[in-house]
Each structure stands twice: as structure tokens, then as C-alpha cells.
Amino acid sequence: MARAGGKIILLGEHAVVYGVPAIAAGIARGAEAEASTAPRAVLEIERLGRFRSGEPHDTARAFSALLAALSAPPCAVRARLELPPGCGLGGSAALGVAIARAVLDHLGTPHEAEDARVLKATEAWETVFHGNPSGIDAAAAARGGCIQFRRGHPPEPLPVKVALTVAICLAGPASSTREMVAGVARLRERRPQVVDKALEGIHALVKNARLAIGAGDLPALGRLLDLNQMLLSGLFVSTESIERCCSLARDAGALGAKLTGAGGGGAVLALIDGDATPVLDAWHAAGFEAFETRVAATP
Ligand code: PMV
């Protein structure tokens, strides 16, 4: 079985589409896949369905695009996703990376030496779902660890002084990244100054967050997450449910909380100082699904 992790965006979603750097980190939960010989390309994703090449379905089209990017012959792939799809945790990119790795392994080209091909294939897969992805999901899923990502540039690994404990909650419902990105683009057409001011603000927060992560200053990082959430609300990508999950986390002692990914529903993350239990309990008591993840310190 080939594997890949999902991701969280710590700061900079949406702004990253317009060239602002963003900070993302790989998470352990993700996807796994296994490929075998078959006369026709078919992808079976546990609980999500079976997709054959040529079918008029995004997943079937994305699978064909991924195989074409790898110059791979038709094959059968069985995959399993460990993250809810459409919640901003990089589930589709994790699937893309796991499938690309599985196909390369099956072709006798061990994927460990083929990072660039895996990334290219995952970008082809992501483009079918997202239209105009910045590439951050694919980069974080393919690479893991904490990265700074700037559109069109190779991801830059970021030194992490103190491991980050992050609680994640599904504020829901699932949302479409493509539609959320299009919504921000429409807002930018109508009110360019407002959006560009928000993008500048997010850029400043990302620069400071990079310093805070490098210095292990968790309280500062928490405040930067809160400020990023405020600017994202100004772009109309937050929801009542996201705001509620952020408040519940802060009231339960989180250092900061924000949506992660495209917004419009999906996931919220909270930075924890020490034990995540009080924040997870607060979310569970309010009926939200939640779990904990860690971003390891770099040696
Ligand atoms: O795929 P999501 O929901 O994690 O969103 C990705 C982040 C965006 O900045 C909103 C879109 C993009 O392509 O970078």
C-alpha cells in the first residue's frame, strides 16, 4: 500500500491564490492506495465509489489525467481516504499522491525517487477538481512537514522549534474549494481595494508566523491565527459554524483558532498549549467531530 498524508493550512489560504506565501503542514491522516494490472483504468475508492476512465465524472477524469501525467498504461487502483472529503484537510491531494505513488510502485519505478513525477501527476488530478489550484495541497501532501508555499515556487521547508499540537474540528458542511475561490475572485472584482488590503494583511501575518514558528513562540502564533481568521471573515469565507467552533476553542483555552482550507464550512484548527482534551471535549459536547494532530519539531 502506498500512503500520503493530508494537510492543514496554518495561515495564508485564499491569499496564496494571489501569490502571497502560505504556511502549511502535513498531517498523519490521509489516504492509501494499491494498483494492479487491468485492461481498463478503474479507480475504486472505499465508501466513495468506483470510477472508470471515460465516465463523465470529475473523479474519473482526474484519474485519467493522473495516469496521463505519469505516462502510465491503464491499471486498477483501490484506495481508501481517511479524511472526510471537501473539508479543507487536503483529502483529494492525499488521494492523488497515494494513487500516483501506487501506480509508480506497480510499474516497478519505486516512488521514493520520483517526487517530481508524483507532484506533477497530483497537480493534474487536483486541477480537475479545483480548476485553478495554487498547488499548496499537492505540495503539502507530497512533502509532509511544515512548509512555506508560494505559487509557482518550490515549497520551502520551515524549521519548527517547538512541536505544534493542533486540534481539528469539522465545522461542516463540506464545501467546494472551486466555488469559494471563485467567490473571493468576484469580491476582488467588485471591491479590489478591500480584498487587496486583506491580502496585504495576510502577507504580514504569514511573515510573522514564520518567525514565531522558528522561535517556538506559540502564544504569538496563536494570536496570528486569530487575526488571520478575522481577515478571512472579511473575505466572506467564514460561516456561523466556523465562528462558533473558533469561539468554543478559544473559550476552552486554545491559543488561537481559524478555519483551514477554503472555508464555507469544512474544518477549523486550534493551536493548543499542552493538552488538547479541553478543546476536543468542548467541540464534542457541541456535537462536532474532532481530532488532534501534531506538527513535529525539526531536529
Ligand atoms: O483545498 P482546500 O479546501 O484546502 O483549499 C485550498 C486553499 C485555497 O487557498 C483556498 C485554494 C488554493 O488553491 O490554494
Report strand pairing: 164-170 vs 267-272. Answer: antiparallel
Q: What is the pLDDT averaged over residues 246-272?
A: 97
Model confidence over 45-60: pLDDT tens digits?
A: 999 999 998 899 999 9
Q: What is the dihedral of CA 4, 8, 13, 16, to 10 degrees?
A: -40
Q: Ligand 1: distance of its center to the CA of 266 in Å?
A: 11
Q: In angstroms, rounded to a whole number, what is the distance separating the alpha carbons of residues 180 and 99? A: 26
Model confidence over 221-239: pLDDT tens digits?
A: 999 999 999 999 999 999 9
Residue nearest to atom 10 of ligand 1 (CA): 262
Q: Is the pTM of this model over 0.85?
A: yes
Residue 76 banded pLDDT, cuts 50, 70, 90: very high
Atom of ligand 1 nearest to the CA of 86: 3
Residue 148 · residue 12 · CB < 8 Å: no
What is the layout of strands, in order, in the sheet containing 267-272? 256-260, 267-272, 164-170, 290-295
Q: Which residues does a 6 A CB cutoff place in the pocket of ligand 1?
A: 9, 13-14, 16-17, 88, 90, 130, 133-134, 136-137, 177, 181, 261-262
Q: Ligand 1: distance of its center to the CA of 106 in Å?
A: 30
Residue nearest to atom 6 of ligand 1 (CA): 261
Q: What is the pLDDT averaged over residues 5-24?
A: 96
Phi/psi at 237 (5° precision): -110, 0
Q: In angstroms, rounded to a whole number, what is the distance separating the alpha carbons of residues 268 and 95? A: 21
Atom of ligand 1 nearest to the CA of 87: 3
Q: What is the pLDDT averaged over residues 18-47?
A: 95
